[in-house]
Amino acid sequence: MKIINNIKDLRDYLHQYRSQRIAFVPTMGNLHAGHLSLVRHARQNADVVVVSVFVNPTQFTAGEDFERYPRTLETDSKLVEKLTDILFVPTVSEMYPNGTNESTKVIVSGLSDILCGSFRPGHFGGVTSVVTRLFNAVQPTVAIFGRKDFQQLLIIQQMVKDLLMPIEIIGLETCRENDGLAMSSRNGYLKPEERSIAPYLYKNLLEIKEAILNGERNYPPLKEKAMNALSKIGFTPDYISIRDRKDLSVPTVKTPIEEIIILGAAWLGSARLIDNLEISSQ
């Protein structure tokens, strides 16, 4: 594995592989088993694998955890060294040479303004802006993301389509702990007592799914019940929402249940947890 810190060296090194299939896995580091599943999929489906580690300041909104976000580059490097050809670790000045406030921004309107976007204004604009930069630096054939960040996945897919980027976007299933908690770097913020109740976000989504599969189509009471249940055990919910997974629009009673996704975001102590569950009649 070769570690590269600047875009020119990255492009120069990748030039020899342009005729091959290049897979890219962008991360903010502090890697866990969920990240590694993405990298393994890349390794199995491409000739060259590039993983980036970059804690992007423009996707953190005011008062969020940019300064304390865990930075574990040495450990991350060891985790991916046998799966990755290139570990790209740029600095903030490399990615934003004119400064973060003066840089060009890439915004996917609509999808970026709802759900997590309404609670974290500007967040998704920071994501799409940095992912565009990373895509232009790596110029991959395929990029791989997790479906835990489902809204982000849809936004990136829309961005690639709108900007005519010749990149295939793959979303892989959420990796979970044994108790159902979706794996996340921010799980490390949880205190022991918080960690014990954290899986209840997923359990509430499962209860909504079961109700829908059993024929319930009056969605607002399902959401309210889940929000109240989470609040009672110590969460501070941002939202529980039932949406059409194609475009995150609000479903109607005529929307096929196979097209429905349940999404949730809630604070537990200093950790903001997100999760989702796609409905299937299987």
Out of 172, 194, 227, pick the residue that ends a domain: 172
Structural domain contains residue 165:
yes
Catalytic residue (choose from 15, 32, 35, 123) = 35
Q: Bridge-partner residues for 182, per DSSP? A: 176
Number of domains in the chain: 2
pLDDT of residue 86: 98
In which band, very low, low, confident or very high, does the pLDDT at 75 lie, cut at 50, 70 and 90? very high
| Digit-coded pLDDT (tens) for 16-68 | 999 999 999 999 999 999 999 999 999 999 999 999 999 999 999 988 999 99
pLDDT of residue 254: 86
Do residues 37 and 74 share a domain? yes
Structural domain contains residue 162:
yes
Out of 143, 172, 201, pick the residue that ends a domain: 172
Q: What is the mean pLDDT of residues 207-221?
A: 95
Residue 33 half-sphere exposure, CB side, CA atoms within 13 Å?
10
Q: Bridge-partner residues for 261, per DSSP? A: 243, 278
Do residues 8 and 116 share a domain? yes
Structural domain contains residue 180:
no
Structural domain contains residue 179:
no
| Digit-coded pLDDT (tens) for 161-208 | 999 999 999 999 999 999 999 999 999 999 999 999 999 999 999 999
Out of 172, 201, 234, pick the residue that ends a domain: 172
- Start-to-end Cα distance in the chain: 42
| Digit-coded pLDDT (tens) for 122-134 | 999 999 999 999 9
pLDDT above 60 (res 282): no
Give catalytic status of residue 35 as yes or no.
yes
| Digit-coded pLDDT (tens) for 225-261 | 999 999 999 999 999 999 999 999 999 888 999 999 9
Structural domain contains residue 177:
no
Computed over every residue of the chain, the mean pLDDT equals 96
Do residues 106 and 211 share a domain? no
Do residues 40 and 96 share a domain? yes
Structural domain contains residue 282:
no
pLDDT of residue 280: 78
pLDDT above 90 (res 103): no
Q: What CATH number does residue 132 fall under? A: 3.40.50.620
Structural domain contains residue 48:
yes
Which residue segment(s) compose the domain that 190 sits in? Answer: 185-277
pLDDT of residue 102: 86
pLDDT of residue 214: 94
Q: What CATH number does residue 208 fall under? A: 3.30.1300.10
d(CA 7, CA 89): 10
